[in-house]
Structure 1
């Protein structure tokens, strides 16, 4: 992709950047990608409208119109994961909403950056949604072809089968996981970077069955139970949360660059 002057990121917690702490709030792969773009195309304007917990219909209705009105060159759109893991969710309907969002953005003249879902067979509970994620990914590939978009295919990337790419909650990426997604996304859009997302993690011995089960129980108590409770009560982690970067402004308005 040629010079990028304005980048808008849309989606849910993945794009908001949860579990990648910054001085204020979260950083995440989208912020990191914007920094890579800025290094090549100084003066980049960037907005991040993603909000944790958002469903695909909310993303298309609330965020897509703002991205279209912004006149951005590049719009990333990643959503549907919160829908897919819900019981009774229909992959075909989620895919139709995603394609509607892509169509609107492409009609505005912007390029779209799509993402497939991760292969989560190694994650307890989440592995139950494996087949639905795989089906949704097939739709995403088709949408990308039909609308001539860019696509970051996360599913086959082996680095994300390592626990160190994930935060303690096993649902969101770690800081290093976000870093690697940003590197892969930069590669897809043709922005040069110094690091390689493929770099292997240092070897560590596998812990035994007992320690694994203890970790699983801790995770279920601290992270899974609250998630189930919110779903049961019809609440979302994104209730009363606003986009962290709602305006399309220079990424470094005060001329300072982060590391």
Structure 2
């Protein structure tokens, strides 16, 4: 019997960070893999996701290897790291995602996508710092929505809802789901896949096997590993984010904040109007 092949592309969310198992990471994609087919049928799962990956990394590094694997089902969940870089460019994000989605869709694979919460809100940043990041993530989500429809992808709306505000869903770092969150993410993906006939196995369980991280664990993470994480992001993003925050304050005082929203919306629309890359062009990239 030929195994169904499932490939997962993306960043730390798909790599499984926040859901530790046996000295490594499991994550929502591995949990979902077990429910794609009935228990008696084989499934071959490969996780190409890498922590810190941006859309350019998925296109340039993960896509070629995944195409060789020739998956029947492939998830592409990425974009948050792009918003946390000073080099953020919604046109480049759209071009990379369009190429990746298109490469798999043209080969007949079922493509899974998702929109995600903005990192500023998850980290609890002050409004003037959080709003520019939220605007960026909203632009990425708009692009993901539109491109998912363009390529016939199975899309999960995960940017909002009760799960975002539920502390029990998240790991100590407040950016990655904990086990409960990964399980919910997998179960929600299974539901939309089952509705389309692409998942025929049992839905992943949503109850965790380990307790959720405590508040003290979150503080310990921030004081140890989290400090390094913030420092690395600040080296790249902070100077620009401070400038964006100052611009946010100026527009707020003038009552023209809506212009910033319109500018971001127009940027996403322009990015989506760019020509679509063909599968042959993607292979040559």
TM category (shorter chain) comes to 0.7 to 0.9
Relative to structure 1, the CA distance from residue 218 to residue 22 in structure 2 (aligned partners, 3 Å threshold; closer, same or farther) is: closer
Relative to structure 1, the CA distance from residue 139 to residue 67 in structure 2 (aligned partners, 3 Å threshold; closer, same or farther) is: same
Aligned partner of 1:180 in structure 2 is: 184
Deviates more, 1:163-172 or 1:149-158: 149-158
Aligned partner of 1:5 in structure 2 is: 4
CA RMSD of aligned residues (A): 2.8
**Helix, strand or coil: the match of 1:171?**
coil
Residue among 226, 233, 242 paired with 2:228: 226
Aligned partner of 2:210 in structure 1 is: none
Larger Rg computed on CA atoms: 2
Aligned partner of 1:87 in structure 2 is: 86
Aligned partner of 1:55 in structure 2 is: 54
- Choose between structure 1 and 2: higher helix proportion: 2
2: CA distance, partners of 1:116 / 1:26: 22
Q: TM-score, normalised by structure 2?
A: 0.68
Aligned partner of 2:193 in structure 1 is: 189
Residue among 157, 160, 167 paired with 1:156: 160
Is 1:21 paired with 2:20? yes
Q: TM-score, normalised by structure 1?
A: 0.75
Is 1:97 paired with 2:96? yes
**1:100-111 correspondence runs (5 A):** 100-111=99-110
Structure 1, unaligned runs of 5 or more:
200-211, 235-259
| Contact 2:8–2:74, Cα closer than 8 Å, also in 1 | yes
Relative to structure 1, the CA distance from residue 56 to residue 194 in structure 2 (aligned partners, 3 Å threshold; closer, same or farther) is: closer
2: CA distance, partners of 1:32 / 1:38: 12
Aligned partner of 1:78 in structure 2 is: 77
**Helix, strand or coil: the match of 2:138?**
helix
Structure 2, unaligned runs of 5 or more:
208-214, 237-285
**TM-superposed deviation, 1:157:** 2.9
**Helix, strand or coil: the match of 2:50?**
coil
2: CA distance, partners of 1:41 / 1:187: 20
Residue among 154, 175, 189 paired with 1:171: 175
**TM-superposed deviation, 1:226:** 0.8
Relative to structure 1, the CA distance from residue 119 to residue 232 in structure 2 (aligned partners, 3 Å threshold; closer, same or farther) is: closer
**Helix, strand or coil: the match of 1:36?**
coil
| Contact 2:101–2:111, Cα closer than 8 Å, also in 1 | yes
Per-residue CA deviation, residues 106-141 of structure 1 (Å, 9 max, x unaligned), is 122212101111255353238441121111111111
1: CA distance, partners of 2:138 / 2:177: 19
Per-residue CA deviation, residues 147-190 of structure 1 (Å, 9 max, x unaligned), is 11111110133222111111011111100000000000101111
**TM-superposed deviation, 1:143:** 0.1
1: CA distance, partners of 2:153 / 2:36: 18
1: CA distance, partners of 2:66 / 2:51: 18
| Contact 2:19–2:178, Cα closer than 8 Å, also in 1 | yes
